[in-house]
Structure 1
Amino acid sequence: MNRLPGLDLLRAIAIAWVMIFHSYIIGGWGHYGGVEKIGWMGVDLFFVLSGFLIGSQVLKPLAQAQGFSFTDFYLRRAFRILPVYLLVVAVYFIWPSMREYPGIQPLWQFLTFTVNLLIDVEHNLAFSHVWSLCVEEHFYLLFPVLAWWLARRPSVRKFATVCIAVVVLGMFLRGYIWLHFMAPVKGVDQNSYGNAFLEGIYYPTWSRLDGLLTGVVLAVLRIYRPALWAQWGQRANGVLMAGLVVLGLSIWLFQDRTGFAATLLGYPLLSAGMGLLVMAGACENGVLERARVPGAGWLAMASYSLYLSHKLVFHGVEAAAGHWLDGHGVATFAGYALAVLATGALLHYAVERPFLRLRGYMAGLRSRRSFAGTVPAQAGADAA
């Protein structure tokens, strides 16, 4: 899929929103009228974007009966995800003083992307934001297999059943954990209450599939129902307004972020709102597609490196220059922001881009070898 300016803008908003949120909870230097307190919602926007983009990559060849190469898909993901990730993991374990918190989960959990399932938030919060990457890795691993199975005999009923099952299972698990692990300690032991929320509801993959599922549904609509997608595309700005309304309802519901109603219903509602925004951004006739915000495209391209490294940078700047930066308003923001952007740029250009070029070279080489292998057989057939 070609880059879409509307989706790049949404990705840029998502990464900026998440970093502002983390700056708020770690250093307390970011205050933007309350926006910083709900910046965690940027991760849900990332989930919908990933579901839509990865879903489109997987479903398009299946829908066109071109066949799907699991090897090519997983190699592409490995070249995209692993180089920068492994470098940042190495920094966390080789230089403990760089960590934003002292304690960290065992290395093997980072290498197997199981941190979000096993994390001890009371003692090991360093690099805890990797939880969302773990969720996405589990999605990359399982979704192509499920999509291939569903595409063998396409059925609206079968697809709808899977979608409903994912949403209902997530609601059931979150509700069960809230009632049996959070409710008994609410108002009695706030540490245990907050830990149970993070470990049982916010981080685990099975509780956070709503956004990825929403993105996949959009990809299915775009690929399997192009006429309907085009019809809605003519109303892109209306879809955008509807998304903002649903997002506003989600923000209202999440006023008590760890409450039962938000835990049970908030994530599907928030994902639906983000899904409408992504749909508006992917349509050609909307304001998001036509908007040209300086720097948004670059932020979107560098968002992965920025996401992985920003907490390290926050801590490093705080340790090195926090004594004279903090408390100075614009100067504080500029100091931290410039350090984050510089580090993200370094990782993007020195690590991400070279490996992406290597990925492209290897893909071209594989394609040429495949083509060369088919020429003699075709020539023989022509001669016969």
Structure 2
Amino acid sequence: MSRLSGLDLLRAIAVIWVMLFHSFLVGGLGPDFAWLSRYGWMGVDIFFVLSGFLIGRQVLAPLARGEGLSFAGFYSRRAWRILPAFAVVLAIYVAFPGLHEADGMAPWWQFASFTMNLLVHYDTQAAFSHAWSLCVEEHFYLVFPALAWCLTRRPSATKFITVCVLVLLAGIALRSGVWLHDNALDPPRNWYIEDIYYPTWNRLDGLLAGVVLATIAVYRPALWARMGERGNAFALLGLAMMALALWLFRQRGGLAGNSIGWPVLSAAIACLVVAAASTRSWIGRWRVPGAAWIAAVSYSLYLSHKLVFRAVEVHFDPWLHGRGLLAFAVYAVATLAVGAALHYAVERPFLQLRALRHASRRSTGEGRDTLTAAG
């Protein structure tokens, strides 16, 4: 699928929102701008919905055409995309403890095995903790292709809807049960982060919403086209539901948000994705200068921004302290510069190598690892 400016805009908003949220690590934006960062953690959920939609289309499109699904090819593409920049940032975290944004870090193998979000002790291992969302993404990449292949061997709308409803209800029930249990016992640790916010099984709502959109786009293209024609209506609905989600999460660790808040938030973002993917909506047509570039480097920005925050704080805090917008500008420029360096020096070359490898495989007729949708 070709790049769409609306989706780039959402991706850019997501990474900027997350970085604004994490500005608390260096003193925040001050009381006048706290509203910009308070709900910035929701930017991760934008990434989840986008990932479910884009990866879902990538996996489902060949299956819908009756073609084979190359598991090896899919995992290889994901590895070339994700691992190089991640490995560099992890190596920096391991080699330079002085750049940690928090005291203590989980063992390196938890990051390398993408199990950190399930095993971390947050109170004493908060450095590089934002890698939790990458763990969730990796678990999705691992499971979704096999699940999609199984469900599409004998396609059934009833079967698909049943699985989606079960995942949705299971998430609500599990989060609610864990919240009620931990809230009653109040264990002496950050149980909200460790038991509810980080674990993959509690964070499937956004990915599910994206996959639902992908399924409609691939298997019901006429319906998807009609949805696109009503892009502005979906944008308004998404904004209204986003307002409801903000209200449900007015207490971030409360029961309301962590029971039904996640599906409401994910549905709101899904509506915005519909609008962003439509060339008829104002979001889809709105080309914000710089948004496409920020979207392109967003992965590198996400990985590296806490390191940059800490480095700037260590070296320039005495000069920047209390300087408000000037301090914000210095942090922003440094973060964008390092994120761009990581993207152009590591991420992009490996993507180019991936493209060359793919072209070489196609020219030599490889693909024997293909498993057909018919079995």
TM range (shorter): over 0.9
Which runs of no fewer than 5 residues in structure 2 stay unpaired?
A: 369-375
Q: Is the 8 A contact 1:250 1:269 kept in 2?
A: yes
- Which residue identity lines up with residue 29 of structure 1 in the other structure? G
- What does residue 378 of structure 1 align with? none
Change in 2 beyond 3 A, CA 1:139/1:311 = same
- Indicate the SS of the match to 2:146: helix
Confirm whether residue 180 of structure 1 aligns to residue 163 of structure 2.
no
- What does residue 168 of structure 1 align with? 169
- What does residue 327 of structure 1 align with? 322
- What does residue 372 of structure 2 align with? none
Confirm whether residue 211 of structure 1 aligns to residue 212 of structure 2.
no
- What does residue 69 of structure 2 align with? 68
Q: TM-score, normalised by structure 1?
A: 0.93
Single out whichever of 324-333 and 43-52 deviates more from structure 2.
324-333
1:273 to 268, 272, 283: 268
CA distance in 2, matches of 1:129, 1:267: 18
Which structure: larger Rg? Answer: 1
- Deviations along 1:153-196, one digit per CA (max 9) or x if unpaired, are 000111011111111111111111111112333xxx8x63xx11
Q: TM-score, normalised by structure 2?
A: 0.96
- Indicate the SS of the match to 1:38: coil
Confirm whether residue 15 of structure 1 aligns to residue 15 of structure 2.
yes
CA distance in 2, matches of 1:273, 1:246: 5
What is the deviation of 1:33? 4.6
| Aligned 1:227-246 pairs, distance under 5 A | 227-246=222-241
- Which residue identity lines up with residue 266 of structure 2 in the other structure? S
Single out whichever of 53-62 and 287-296 deviates more from structure 2.
287-296
Q: Which runs of 4+ in 1 moved over 3 A?
A: none
What is the deviation of 1:257? 1.1
What root-mean-square deviation, in Å, do the aligned CA atoms of Structure 1 and Structure 2 show? 1.3
- What does residue 145 of structure 1 align with? 146
| Aligned 1:8-47 pairs, distance under 5 A | 8-24=8-24, 26-31=25-30, 32-47=33-48
CA distance in 2, matches of 1:137, 1:29: 30
Q: Is the 8 A contact 1:29 1:333 kept in 2?
A: no
- Which residue identity lines up with residue 89 of structure 1 in the other structure? L
- Which residue identity lines up with residue 17 of structure 2 in the other structure? W
What is the deviation of 1:101? 1.1
CA distance in 1, matches of 2:3, 2:103: 39
- Deviations along 1:304-343, one digit per CA (max 9) or x if unpaired, are 0000000000001000001111211221111000000000
| Aligned 1:52-67 pairs, distance under 5 A | 52-67=53-68
Which runs of no fewer than 5 residues in structure 1 stay unpaired?
A: 374-384
CA distance in 2, matches of 1:372, 1:331: 54
CA distance in 1, matches of 2:136, 2:366: 36
Q: Is the 8 A contact 2:28 2:34 kept in 1?
A: no
Q: Is the 8 A contact 1:62 1:148 kept in 2?
A: yes
- Indicate the SS of the match to 2:38: helix
1:351 to 319, 323, 346: 346
Aligned length: 366
Q: Is the 8 A contact 1:29 1:332 kept in 2?
A: no
- Which residue identity lines up with residue 154 of structure 1 in the other structure? P
- Which residue identity lines up with residue 5 of structure 2 in the other structure? P
What is the deviation of 1:149? 0.5
CA distance in 2, matches of 1:122, 1:138: 24
CA distance in 2, matches of 1:61, 1:30: 46
